[in-house]
């Protein structure tokens, strides 16, 4: 059962297809969150990674982990519509097993350290109870306005 479905996630995260990599949130509290990514055969990255043996790229697994962490960080903010969460660092990423079409990633992220604009999160991605990836990610909170202004400046 979803606590947050895809529609609710899209109200929190700015990501959209094909970069929204979280389908639902099934558990959440102040320090921990669990999200689900259903990996389907028609994912756009499978056409080139690899056509003969489709494997979800590890960087996208880490991105999915960061997005789940981002839901936790942004959901707790009243002014989240004016904020963005950027991936600031990735540490100790390990990939234990390929993620294939038809797999369901269960992504669990836990808060390690949190400050006003930075959160360090620890997490694992599993398929059928088997760890397929783990990483530490640092998320940086930023205002949307300066990001838009920086893009507009030549």
Residue 1 lies in a domain: no
Residue 61 lies in a domain: yes
Output the pLDDT for position 154: 60
Residue 154 lies in a domain: no
Output the pLDDT for position 77: 82
Output the pLDDT for position 80: 85
Q: Which domain holds residue 79?
A: 6-149
Residue 75 lies in a domain: yes
| pTM of the model as a whole | 0.91
Residue 46 lies in a domain: yes
Q: In this structure, are residues 46 and 52 in contact, taking their beta carbons and an 8 Å threshold?
A: no
Output the pLDDT for position 72: 95
- Residue 118 has a CB neighbour count (10 Å cut-off) of 14
Q: What is the domain count for the chain?
A: 1
Cα separations in angstroms, 109 against 29, 33, 79, 82:
11, 5, 23, 24
Active site residues: 49
Instruction: Going from the first residue of the chain to its last (154 residues), give the mean pLDDT of each consecutive group of 10, the final group possibly shorter.
Output: 92 95 97 98 95 96 97 88 92 98 98 93 98 97 71 60
CATH number at 23 reads 3.10.129.10
């Amino acid at each position: 059962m979803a606590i947050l479905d895809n529609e609710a996630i899209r109200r929190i995260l700015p990501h959209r297809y094909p970069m929204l990599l979280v389908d639902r949130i099934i558990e959440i509290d102040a320090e921990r969150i669990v999200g689900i990514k259903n990996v389907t055969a028609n994912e756009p990255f499978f056409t080139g990674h690899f056509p003969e043996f489709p494997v979800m790229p590890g960087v996208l697994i880490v991105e999915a982990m960061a997005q789940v962490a981002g839901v936790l960080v942004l959901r707790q903010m009243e002014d989240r519509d004016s904020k963005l969460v950027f991936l600031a660092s990735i540490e100790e990423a390990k990939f234990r097993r390929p993620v294939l079409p038809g797999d369901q990633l269960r992504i669990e992220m836990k808060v390690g350290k949190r400050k006003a604009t930075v959160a360090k999160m620890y997490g694992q991605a599993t398929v059928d109870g088997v760890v397929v990836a783990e990483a530490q990610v640092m998320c940086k909170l930023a205002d949307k306005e300066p990001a838009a202004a920086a893009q507009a400046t030549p």
